Amino acid sequence: MFFLDCICWTAYALIIFDSNLALPNGIGAVIGAVLLILYAWYYRSTPMMSKAKNIKMPVIVSCPGASAADTTGCIVSVTIER
C-alpha cells in the first residue's frame, strides 16, 4: 500500500510540476520498491509452519509434595526441540 500511494502521489506531482510533492514521494516509492524486492527475495527462505494441528507437546510439571491429579500452584514448562 505504501508503494502504491507513493507512486500515485509522485505521478500527480509530475503532472502538476510540483517538486515539493514529487521528491519525498519519489524517495518513498524507491524505498517501497526496495522493501517489496527484499520481501520477494527472502519469502521462500523463511521456514513454513507445520500444518499438523494435534501435536502433543512434552510437558513437565514441577510440584513438590502434590499429587499428580492436583496441579494447582505448580510450575509447568514446555520444551520444544528442533
pLDDT, mean over the chain:
76
Reported pTM = 0.52
Phi, psi dihedral angles at 53 (to 5 degrees): -95, -35
**H helix and E strand count, the chain:** 2, 2
| Mean pLDDT (whole number) for 30-43 | 89
Dump pLDDT digits (tens) for 59-76: 665 666 655 556 566 666
Domains of the chain by residue range? 2-43
Three cell numbers, residue 77 = 514448562
Greater model confidence, 21 or 47: 21
Please report, as a single letter, which amino acid is at residue 13: A
